[in-house]
Amino acid sequence: MGVVLGIESSCDETAAALVDDRRTIIAQRIASQDDAHRPYGGVVPEIAARAHVERLTPLIAATLADAGMALADVDAIAATAGPGLIGGVMVGLVTAKALAMASDKPLLAINHLEGHALSPRLADPDLAFPYLLLLASGGHCQLLLVEAVGSYRRLATTIDDALGEAFDKTAKVLGLGYPGGPAVERLAAQGDPAAVPLPRPLLGSSEPHFSFAGLKSAVVRAKQADTYRVADLAASFQQAAVDCVIDRTHRALLGAGPVTALVAAGGVAANGAIRRALEALADEHGLRFGVPPAALCTDNAAMIAWAGIERLALGQSDPLDVAARPRWPLDPAADPVRGAGVKA
Ligand code: KG4
Ligand code: ZN
């Protein structure tokens, strides 16, 4: 089955990667747009889409050159087809369609969340289904039972903000700039996690859902009070986030049925404190634990190529008229959650 070219353009990273079915990332390139969005404190969709148009094609050419390969050496083309900022998604998907058409290779329209959900299997050849996945990024915070490729049961979601959003907002109010998660983590290392009393929304509640809006607002109020060291605020926020994640994940584990492993993916899974706490929880339950390396947790094209390889191995591909989707839930049968926002 061979080598898949993966393309990712659903948010503010323009990325291309070549991955083979033996889990080798042959080449990958990521062009971050952080500098373009920094003045606005967040991703501006129009700027993101234009940057993808400028950068994607040369980036793909450079990735192929890094590998010493031509398009003819690739066995299929996989691109994120949603969910995400629709302008960027369309740039990546249309580029993939053109390449698939020109080279007469199969096209795989990948759900970005499926890319994150299967990324732990790219990093760990022994990770078997079913596993419990914490998927935490800038737009999502979900607990998913990953039963098989294409079979995902959403056990929990956030009823308001995503966890990455809470990290980004905290960074903003603490004056740490954009993107916020890594900056909060760095500063938290110098602070006292018990210094600032902060809420742990939904802690102990019977459904494993998440909520972070109250925590986010409490950080804003604590900052305005002007009585705490910024490092203590960062550390206390991160500790509250860890406590929520562990309590909610534990709750989901109790209701998930037998699983082989506890794994995490998405940008927030790059956070060391969250990784260590999840590993301890997995240990307690005698479960295998896995988090892909940080570069595979944040948005990247290797995970899109890998999801393509997994689907191709099952004989799947997509027609050239497949649509780009701004919203695309991994588990369409999941009950709507009262209070949940419009995030995909
Ligand atoms: O998966 P991702 O790269 O993009 C989305 O699909 O959203 O996730 C980005 C999110 C941002 O909110 C960022 O602040 C957060 O992941 N993040 C982190 C860390 N690195 C990235 N949050 C906490 N600690 C980190 N080290
Ligand atoms: Zn993502």
Domain that holds residue 26: 3-117+296-312
Task: Report the pLDDT averaged over residues 137-151.
Answer: 95
Block residue for tokens 């920094």: 38
State the pTM of this model: 0.93
Domain contains 337: no
Q: Are residues 111 and 135 in the same domain?
A: no
Residue with tokens 């459904």: 207
Residues 242, 172 within the same domain: yes
Q: Is 208 within a domain?
A: yes
Q: Which residues hold their Cβ within 5 A of ligand 2, which is an ion?
A: 137, 299
For residue 38, pLDDT beyond 90 = no
Instruction: For residue 70, list its beta bridge partners.
Output: none
Q: Does 335 reside within a domain?
A: no
Ligand nearest to the CA of residue 115, numbered in listed order? 2
pLDDT band per the 50, 70, 90 thresholds, residue 338: low
pLDDT at site 5? 98
- Within 8 A by CB and 6+ apart from 122, the residues are 19, 23, 25, 292, 296, 302, 303, 306
> Is any atom of ligand 1 closer than 6 Å to the C-beta of 83?
no
Q: Is the CB of 92 under 6 A from ligand 1?
A: no
Residue 339 in any domain: the answer is no
- Ligand 2 centre distance from Cα of residue 163 (Å): 12
> Is 25 contained in some domain?
yes
In tens, the pLDDT along 231-269 reads 999 999 999 999 999 999 999 999 999 999 999 999 999
What confidence score (pLDDT) does residue 39 get?
A: 85
Whether residue 266 sits in one domain with residue 145? yes
* φ, ψ at 136 (rounded to 5°): -130, 115
Q: Are residues 219 and 180 in the same domain?
A: yes
In a domain, 259, yes or no: yes
Nearest ligand by distance to the CA of 34: 1
In this structure, the answer to whether residues 89 and 196 fall within a common structural domain is: no
pLDDT at residue number 342: 39
pLDDT digit string (tens) for 291-313?
999 999 999 999 999 999 999 99
Q: What is the CATH number of the domain that holds 13?
A: 3.30.420.40
Domain identity same for 249 and 271: yes
Secondary structure of residue 174 in the 3-state scheme? coil
Task: Tell me, yes or no, whether 331 lies in a domain.
Answer: no
User: Residue 101 is encoded by which pair of tokens?
Assistant: 């058409």
| Alpha carbon 119 to its chain's center | 9
Q: Are 32 and 93 in a shared domain?
A: yes
Say if ligand 1 is within 6 A of residue 137 CB: yes
Residues 89 and 214 in one domain: no
Q: Is 162 in the same domain as 68?
A: no
The pLDDT of residue 40: 83
My answer on whether 132 and 273 are in the same domain is yes
pLDDT at 343 > cutoff 50: no
The pLDDT of residue 1: 58
Looking at the 3D structure of the chain, how many domains does it have? 2
Same domain, 165 and 283: yes
Is 304 found in the same domain as 280?
no
Average pLDDT, the chain: 94
Give the pLDDT mean for 140-167.
96
For strand 3-8 and strand 76-82, is the pairing parallel, antiparallel, or unpaired?
parallel
Q: Which of 34, 137, 165, 170 to mutate to test the pocket of ligand 1 (most atoms within 8 A of CB)?
A: 137
Tens digit of each residue's pLDDT (9 = 90 or more) over 172-223: 999 998 779 999 999 999 999 999 999 999 999 999 999 999 999 999 999 9
Residue to substitute in 114, 133, 167 for testing ligand 1 pocket (most ligand atoms within 8 angstroms of CB): 167
